[in-house]
C-alpha cells in the first residue's frame, strides 16, 4: 500500500501557508471566533450600572427585542437567557409533547437535540445536503415516505408508533437551509416548522431574513456568535398569540399586577437581564458592518485557496446572503483522512481550527434515537474544518 504520509504533511502545510496569507504571519495565536466590541458597549453597560437596572427588566431588554424585530423583519421577539432556552420554548409552543418525535439534522450542535429532550420528546435524526450543510429536502421526503403514516393529517412513525410533531431545520454556520424545498415536505406530512436560527442572525434566504419561515425560530447570542450578549437568545415569531405565550412562559408565568405574585402556569425563569441586553443593543448597531467584514474574510479565503486541489472554501447557497458566522474549509472525500493532520498543523501554527460537531447519532445520549441513513452527515463530519472567523480579522471590506 502506498504511503501518503509525506504528501499528507505537504497538504497540511500548504493549508497553513494559505491561511497565513489571509491572516498574516504574526506570532500571536489567532482564535476561531472572538467577539468584537467596537461601538457603544461600554456606554450602555455603564448606564445599567449607573442606574442599577441590571436584572430582568429595563429599557434595554425592550429595545433589544424591538431592534431584533427591525433587523429580522419578524413581528415579535422575546429575549431569553440563551439559545437553548429559546429553542426549548419554541418547541413547547409548537405543541411538542412528551413522547413525540422531532426531526432534527444529525449535523448540528448538541443543543438542538437537547432542547427536544427537555420536552421529554425524542430527536429523530435526518440527513443533510452538501450544498447547504442543512437538512436535505429530497432525503427527508424519501425517508418520511418510507416510515411515516398520516392519520387525519397527523404524522406518525410506523416503526415506533410515536407522533412526529415538528421539523427543526438548522442554518449551519449561518448558511440558510433550502427552505423552499423543506416547507412543502413539512406541509405534506403535517409537521410544524421551528427554525434553529441560532447561527444565522443577518442571513437572508431569497431576500428574507431567516427565522420568518416557520411558526417560531430561535436565535443565540453566545460569546462566539456574530452578535453577543455574553449569554442570551431570542424567540422569533410572527404570531401574536405565540409571542404572548413566549413572554409569559419565560417570565415565570406571572400575572401582571402592581404587587401581587400570582402565577397561572408552571413556567420558566428564562428572562434576559437588562445588563446583557444593553450589550446586545450596542452589538446590533454594528451588525451590518460586522457582516460585511465576515463576507470580505470569506472572499479573501476563497482567493487564497483558489487553485489548490483537494479543498475548497464553503460558499453560501444560491439566492442566499449568509452572515458567514463560521468560515469552513471542505476537504474532498479522498482527503478526509488528512483532516486531523490539518487540524494538528494549523493549531500548532497558532491558527485555531476545529472540526464540525460530532454527529448527534454518535453521542452517547442519542445513540438509540430514531434516524434515517446519514451518509452525507457522516461524510461532511469527516471533511469540515472551521477556520478563524472573527470579523476583526478584516479591517474593512464591502
The pLDDT tens digits for 216-273 are: 999 999 999 999 999 999 999 999 999 999 999 999 999 999 999 999 999 999 999 9
Beta strands at 164-167 and 154-157: parallel, antiparallel or unpaired: unpaired
Q: Where does residue 152 fall: left (phi above 0), alpha (psi -120 to 50 degrees), or beta otherwise? A: left
Do the beta carbons of residue 124 and residue 104 sit within 8 Å?
yes
Nearest to 226 by CA among 186, 179, 280, 271: 280
Sequence-ordered list of residues with C-beta below 8 angstroms from that of 160, at least 6 positions apart, any chain: 101, 122, 370
pLDDT at 398: 34
Percent of the chain with pLDDT over 90: 95
Contact 102, 192 (CB under 8 A): no
* pTM beyond cutoff 0.85: yes
- Residue 41 burial class via C-beta count within 10 angstroms: exposed 0-12, middle 13-18, buried 19 and up: buried
Q: Is the pLDDT of residue 172 over 50?
A: yes
Q: What is the pLDDT of residue 31?
A: 97
pLDDT above 50 (res 1):
no
Reference 272, options 212, 227, 242; nearest CA is 227
Question: Per residue in 343-382, pLDDT tens?
Answer: 999 999 999 999 999 999 999 999 999 999 999 999 999 9
Rounded CA-CA distance 202/210 in Å is 8
User: What is the structure's pLDDT at 27?
Assistant: 74
pLDDT at 396: 47
Q: How far apart are alpha carbons 238 and 74 in whole angstroms?
A: 6
Q: End-to-end CA distance of the chain, in Å? A: 49
- The CB-side HSE value for 33 (13 A sphere, CA atoms) comes to 20
Per-residue pLDDT of 6-50, as tens digits, reads 799 999 999 999 999 999 977 789 999 999 999 999 999 999 999
Q: Residue 140 has what pLDDT? A: 98
Q: Which residues pair with 236 in a beta bridge?
A: 77, 217
Closest among 210, 235, 238, 183 to 323, alpha carbons compared: 210
pLDDT (mean) for 295-313: 98
Residue labelled with grid coordinates 461601538 = 39
d(CA 55, CA 259): 18
The domains of the chain, with CATH numbers, are 5-37+287-393 (3.90.1150.10), 41-285 (3.40.640.10)
In 93-205, the DSSP E strands lie at 101-105, 122-126, 148-151, 154-157, 164-167, 192-196, 204-205
**Cα atoms in the Cβ-side hemisphere of radius 13 Å centred on 319:** 7
- pLDDT beyond 80 at 4: no
Cα separation, 298 vs 173, in Å, equals: 12
Mean pLDDT of the region 318-335: 98
In the predicted model, what is the mean pLDDT of residues 73-102? 98
Helical spans, DSSP H, in the chain: 5-23, 41-51, 59-72, 83-93, 110-118, 137-147, 179-188, 240-250, 274-285, 287-305, 339-348, 375-383
Give the pLDDT score at 369.
Answer: 98
Q: Strand 122-126's sheet: what is its strand order? A: 76-80, 233-237, 216-220, 192-196, 164-167, 101-105, 122-126
**pLDDT (tens digit, 9 = 90+) per residue, 38-47?**
999 999 999 9
Confidence band for 5, pLDDT divided at 50, 70 and 90:
confident
Residue 109: which pLDDT band, with cuts at 50, 70 and 90?
very high
Amino acid at each position: 500500500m502506498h504511503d501518503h504520509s509525506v504528501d499528507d504533511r505537504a497538504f497540511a502545510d500548504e493549508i497553513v501557508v494559505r491561511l497565513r496569507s489571509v491572516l498574516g504571519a504574526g506570532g500571536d495565536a489567532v482564535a476561531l471566533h472572538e467577539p468584537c466590541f467596537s461601538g457603544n458597549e461600554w456606554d450602555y453597560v455603564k448606564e445599567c450600572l449607573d442606574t442599577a437596572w441590571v436584572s430582568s427588566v429595563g429599557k434595554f431588554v425592550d429595545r433589544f427585542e424591538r431592534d431584533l424585530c427591525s433587523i429580522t423583519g419578524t413581528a415579535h421577539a422575546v429575549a431569553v437567557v440563551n439559545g437553548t432556552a429559546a429553542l426549548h420554548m419554541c418547541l413547547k409552543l409548537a405543541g411538542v409533547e412528551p413522547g413525540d418525535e422531532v426531526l432534527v439534522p444529525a449535523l448540528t450542535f448538541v443543543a438542538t437535540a437537547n432542547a427536544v429532550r427537555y420536552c421529554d420528546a425524542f430527536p429523530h435524526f435526518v440527513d443533510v445536503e452538501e450544498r447547504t450543510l442543512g437538512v436535505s429536502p429530497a432525503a427527508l421526503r424519501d425517508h418520511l415516505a418510507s416510515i411515516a403514516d398520516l392519520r387525519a393529517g397527523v404524522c406518525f412513525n410506523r416503526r415506533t408508533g410515536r407522533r412526529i410533531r415538528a421539523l427543526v431545520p438548522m442554518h449551519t454556520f449561518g448558511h440558510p437551509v433550502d427552505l423552499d424545498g423543506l416547507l412543502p415536505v413539512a406541509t405534506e406530512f403535517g409537521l410544524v416548522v421551528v427554525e434553529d436560527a441560532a447561527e444565522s442572525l443577518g442571513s437572508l434566504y431569497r431576500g428574507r431574513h431567516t427565522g420568518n419561515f416557520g411558526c417560531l425560530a430561535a436565535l443565540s447570542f453566545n460569546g462566539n456568535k456574530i452578535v453577543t450578549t455574553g449569554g442570551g437568545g431570542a424567540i422569533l415569531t410572527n404570531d401574536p398569540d405565540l409571542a404572548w405565550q413566549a413572554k409569559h412562559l419565560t417570565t415565570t408565568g406571572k400575572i401582571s399586577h402592581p404587587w401581587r405574585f400570582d402565577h397561572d402556569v408552571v413556567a420558566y425563569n428564562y428572562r434576559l437581564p437588562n445588563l446583557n441586553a444593553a450589550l446586545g443593543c450596542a452589538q446590533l448597531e454594528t451588525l451590518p458592518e460586522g457582516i460585511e467584514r465576515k463576507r470580505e474574510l470569506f472572499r479573501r479565503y476563497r482567493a487564497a485557496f483558489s487553485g489548490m486541489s483537494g479543498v475548497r472554501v464553503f460558499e453560501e447557497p444560491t439566492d442566499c446572503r449568509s452572515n458567514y458566522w463560521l468560515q469552513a474549509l471542505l476537504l474532498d472525500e479522498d482527503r478526509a483522512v488528512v483532516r486531523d493532520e490539518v487540524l494538528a498543523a494549523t493549531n500548532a501554527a497558532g491558527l485555531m481550527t476545529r472540526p464540525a460537531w460530532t454527529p448527534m447519532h454518535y453521542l452517547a445520549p442519542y445513540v438509540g434515537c430514531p434516524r434515517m441513513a446519514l451518509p452525507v452527515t457522516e461524510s461532511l463530519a469527516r471533511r469540515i474544518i472551521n477556520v478563524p472567523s472573527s470579523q476583526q480579522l478584516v479591517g474593512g471590506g464591502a
